[in-house]
Structure 1
């Protein structure tokens, strides 16, 4: 397989989604007229349109990781298997789109990838407003309801795509089980994430541990752990002997990736990220960065942060959000997060090297595999960060154990 690009994944995603959605709008057997004469068909067409739109513009990191793992191991040229591996990667991206649609509804996020979030776009359609990129005043009940159903539809279609792709790959049954286990893990993580909204702010160390625990389920499970496992299975590898190594590597990569994403909320540029900077603060999200801020700020500053986070969302003004962002930088929490990411990066690279050895990859395969893993490591490792790895072991250990127990249950 030649190197798969994000553009190829997006094009194939759209082809697969359109093919699946064509079945939804086809005339029913035995009817003399197509369903588009049905008054309810308009809503279905809007949802199908958003299914395509919501999937556009991502970096496709999960798909590229899966394809590169497969490519690192697959030495024979087999066009059918190559297409099946790409289709499996597309199924993973469609599932991610479903999770983002639901995430934006839960978080009340107005934008995604520089465009109105799907539920807002559906609200606008209902109101008959100009279909430009101007945001409506807010979601209505119809838009929210259709957004939830859109997320459900994408999740269902992603499973269908994954099972169809797995039929042309080795380890077909194991691929199906792994894909469904991933979905269960993400939903579990989303529930934990909502539960975190009620987490008390008077114990920063416990808050940090809870945030890492949630991150393992909600993000690492499908961002890095599942692509690694699915890529190995697609290449015919018996995962049982490498399960612990894959989980450990995937966890480190996923935590580093999410911690870096959390940093963008403080130090990023919304013109580049496609979503408003300071959104996590405005929503009152309990993050590792918040835990570090509460631990490192002065008593009066920490008290003010707790007061703000415990206040109703609508009362959080831009000036207050900016105050917390400035405090996160000045108290050292941003730098602490960068050190944590660098430590995770160092350990992940060592684990990737060890897994490459265990898989007995060729020189070319090893280079492909290690490069694929490095995409999730936003900070270069420096010698001064190595001592930080031991502290990360303690912080991430509980998340790893809970993740392992949960996935064993679903596999």
Structure 2
């Protein structure tokens, strides 16, 4: 929503024209932070952008016998792109609002909205690939893309192959969307390079995520360090660091300043977010997450929670945990037992403490920014969305 739309909405254009910028700034940021309005715009725009990229164009030459599969993949691109909290897109918008001048806010908002959507489209592609790697059945309460393809084609091999290509297609779409958005921004010259760096970091992170699964369980401190390192590359890079960086770049900050500030705020926030997500896997519910509770345990993933539990366990508990994770699979009874051991050893409490400490570090970095309080406060609230169990004023 541009400032002109805001003026029409409140129906006091003459009043706003006469207000000092400081008061306009406060009103703009307060009304502009209406996430429900942002979510509606983000959701509808993502569908439009994905359809435009994924569906065959009129001049595309495709054999008639293959067109139904191409159309099926395009439809799944839309289906996979629907839903989600849109935290990354919202943070991109809120970062832009925190740093942009009034005229840039009004002039560039539509292009910035597309840039925010590009992050979400990339996220969807990453999730499609993640579900293949993790052999997941569900995503956001619906069949994962490769499972849907396998069912529709009656072939797991083709289903997995189409899933890989869908993930690639969405990753490419994110670059195309960002490139077009950057060309319309007042300060868009460094945006695409930042997006490509985000792609690289997530790809490195996925490699490291698989590498961690080879870590032995007899050194939990090393496992914690390696896991947090994965969080930095695979999660924080595109969940918090890049959205903050995109908003700052689009607002006119230099690439060095945008990167420095985005890392200071976004790195601890991204680590906290992933720790909270891992915690939700054992203390949440399928209704809220769209995935079975205990999925990481069922898959035998090496997590910070597991490392903390092993570190604090007595000899019997430690042996029980290691034996469970070194087995080829874990029964539902063992999943529940592992969750109970996480509680008994204090690993769940330790995870909450880690999240709180990281949130305080992120919040301190925001407070150190050279922004007015009217801009800092909404940014703090925007970042607090990533750690909903930690009070924003804690």
Shorter chain as normaliser: what TM range?
Answer: 0.7 to 0.9
Report if aligned partners of 1:101, 1:118 keep a CA contact under 8 Å in 2: yes
1:50-86 CA-partner distances (Å, limit 9, x unpaired)? 1000011110000000001111223126655111000
Using the TM superposition, give the Cα deviation of residue 311 of structure 1 relative to its aligned residue in structure 2, in angstroms: 1.5
Is residue 2:40 matched to residue 1:7? Answer: yes
Corresponding residue SS for 1:201: coil
Segment drifting more, 344-353 vs 85-94: 344-353
- Counterpart mapping for 1:170-249 below 5 A: 170-249=186-265
Report if aligned partners of 1:80, 1:168 keep a CA contact under 8 Å in 2: no
Report if aligned partners of 2:236, 2:267 keep a CA contact under 8 Å in 1: yes
Q: CA separation in 2, counterparts of 1:104 and 1:98? A: 10
Corresponding residue SS for 2:178: helix
Report if aligned partners of 2:104, 2:251 keep a CA contact under 8 Å in 1: no
Change (3 A) 1:78 1:204: closer
1:374 paired residue among 369, 384, 389: 384
Corresponding residue SS for 2:209: helix
Change (3 A) 1:286 1:335: same
1:306-348 CA-partner distances (Å, limit 9, x unpaired)? 1111111xx3111111110111011110001011111111121
Is residue 2:122 matched to residue 1:112? Answer: no
Change (3 A) 1:381 1:346: farther
Structure 2 runs not aligned, ≥5 long: 3-31
Give the equivalent residue in structure 1 for 2:13.
Answer: none
Is residue 2:360 matched to residue 1:346? Answer: yes
Give the equivalent residue in structure 2 for 1:403.
Answer: none
Report if aligned partners of 1:345, 1:379 keep a CA contact under 8 Å in 2: no
Segment drifting more, 363-372 vs 325-334: 363-372
Corresponding residue SS for 2:158: helix
Using the TM superposition, give the Cα deviation of residue 370 of structure 1 relative to its aligned residue in structure 2, in angstroms: 1.9
Q: CA separation in 1, counterparts of 2:372 and 2:316? A: 57
Report if aligned partners of 2:248, 2:258 keep a CA contact under 8 Å in 1: no
Segment drifting more, 87-96 vs 322-331: 322-331
Using the TM superposition, give the Cα deviation of residue 295 of structure 1 relative to its aligned residue in structure 2, in angstroms: 0.5
Q: CA separation in 2, counterparts of 1:242 and 1:84? A: 19
Corresponding residue SS for 1:223: helix
Using the TM superposition, give the Cα deviation of residue 368 of structure 1 relative to its aligned residue in structure 2, in angstroms: 2.2
Q: CA separation in 1, counterparts of 2:157 and 2:223? A: 34
Is residue 2:182 matched to residue 1:166? Answer: yes
Change (3 A) 1:21 1:241: closer
TM-score, normalising length from structure 2? 0.87
Using the TM superposition, give the Cα deviation of residue 243 of structure 1 relative to its aligned residue in structure 2, in angstroms: 3.0
1:100-154 CA-partner distances (Å, limit 9, x unpaired)? 0000000011101111101111111113xxxxxxxxxxx7111111000000000
Give the equivalent residue in structure 2 for 1:157.
Answer: 173
Corresponding residue SS for 2:103: coil
Give the equivalent residue in structure 2 for 1:392.
Answer: none
Q: CA separation in 2, counterparts of 1:237 and 1:244? A: 11
Using the TM superposition, give the Cα deviation of residue 26 of structure 1 relative to its aligned residue in structure 2, in angstroms: 2.0
Using the TM superposition, give the Cα deviation of residue 381 of structure 1 relative to its aligned residue in structure 2, in angstroms: 5.8
Change (3 A) 1:157 1:243: closer
Q: Segments of 4+ in structure 1 off by > 6 A?
A: none
* Count of residue pairs brought into register by the alignment: 360
Is residue 2:77 matched to residue 1:51? Answer: yes
Change (3 A) 1:366 1:113: same
Using the TM superposition, give the Cα deviation of residue 7 of structure 1 relative to its aligned residue in structure 2, in angstroms: 2.3
Change (3 A) 1:381 1:53: closer
- Counterpart mapping for 1:126-137 below 5 A: 126-127=153-154
Q: CA separation in 2, counterparts of 1:302 and 1:46? A: 48
- Aligned-CA RMSD value: 1.8
Report if aligned partners of 2:128, 2:163 keep a CA contact under 8 Å in 1: yes
Q: CA separation in 2, counterparts of 1:14 and 1:67? A: 18
